[in-house]
Amino acid sequence: MILKEGNIGAFMKIHLTGATGFVGQALQAQLYLSSHNPFATVRAKQSDLTSNSNSLAVGDISATTKWGNALHGIDAVVHLAARVHVMYDNAIDPLAEFRSVNTDGTLNLARQAAASGVRRFIYLSSIKVNGEATNHDCPFTPNDLAAPRDPYGISKHEAEVGLRAIARTTGMQVVIIRPTLVYGAGAKGNFKSLMKLVARGLPLPLASIDNRRSLVGIDNLVDFIITCLEHPAAANETFLVSDGEDLSTPDLIRRMAHAMDRPARLLPVPKSVLMAAAAMLGKRNMAQRLCGSLQVDISKARALLGWNPPVSVDEGLRRAVK
C-alpha cells in the first residue's frame, strides 16, 4: 500500500507499544497532556496502565503477531516494546532471541501498520547501533557507519535497515531514535545501582576517571519522541538524543549526591588498577561503562527540528532521586 502524503500534527490517534515499560508509562502520560489520543498494546492486561488508557493485549511480539484492529484508524505508531539488553543472557542463541522480537517482530508490525494506512512510525532504537564507546570528545553522529557489537545492538540495527526499506516501498514515514542511557525516577539497571551506592554514602574509587558520557533524562526523551511525532521534518530521519551535556563519572556522582543532599565520597584510584581488578572479578564490562566514554552529537535534532532538551541535567537528577 502506498500512503498519501500529509503532515503529522496535533490530535493524532497513536498506537503505543511497550506502554507498561519505563519509557512507555512516562510517554503515555505526557501524550494525554499533549492532547493526543494514545492506544496502548501490551503483552497481557496489566494494572499499571494509565487509568484512562485504551489498551489491548496482543501477547508476545514476533514475526507472526496479529495486530488487527489495534491499527485501525491509527495515524502514528510509537514502537517501544523490545527484548531489552541484559547483562547476563542465559539464552542458548541470544542473537536469535533478540532478532525474533526486536527485528522480526518490529518489521512485522511496521508492514501491518503501513498496510493499515499509518502515516508515521517512530522506532526507539539504541545507541548500541553506533557502538559501545567513543574516543574522548569524538561523539557518535547519526551519519556514522553502524558498528553494533552485541546481539541486542545487532538486532536493533537490522530492524532499522528493514524499516527504511519498508518506508521506501510503502511511503510510511519512519523516524528512528537512538537514545543513550535513559535515567529518571523508576529507572533500573546501572543507573539505579549507582544511585543506591551514592545514597548509602559508600566510598567509590572513581575520582581519577576522566571520561565523558552522554545521558538522557526520561522527560527529555519523552519530549523528543513527541517532537518527532509532530514535526514534519522528522520524517525518514535518524536522530541521536541526549541531555546535551556530557558528564564524567565523578561529575555524575557529585551531581547525583547533590540532588540527594548527600556527600559524594570519591577516592583516587588509577584507571588501570580499576580495570585490572574488574577483570579479575569478571566485571570488565561494568568497569568499561564507568571508566570509558560514550558521547553523542545532538546537533541534527537541534538544527532540523529546533529541539533543545527542556530539562537540565541537574533538574533531571533531582527528579530521578526524588
Give catalytic residue positions: 152
Q: Using CA atoms, how far apart are residues 251 and 275, in angstroms rounded to an integer?
A: 19
CA 183-187-190 angle, 5° bins: 80
Q: Could you write out the three-class secondary structure of 240-287?
A: EECCCCCECHHHHHHHHHHHHCCCCCECCCCHHHHHHHHHHCCCHHHH
Query: Is the distance from CB of 274 to CB of 287 less than 8 angstroms?
Result: yes
Q: How close are the terminal C-alpha atoms of the chain, in Å?
A: 48
Q: Using CA atoms, how far apart are residues 247 and 230, in angstroms rounded to an integer?
A: 30
Q: Using CA atoms, how far apart are residues 37 and 12, in angstroms rounded to an integer?
A: 6
Q: Using CA atoms, how far apart are residues 22 and 121, in angstroms rounded to an integer?
A: 20
> Of 237, 241, 122, 239, nearest to 181 (Cα)?
241
SS3 state at 47: coil
The amino acid at residue 200 is R
Given phi > 0 = left and psi -120 to 50 = alpha, else beta, which region is 178? beta
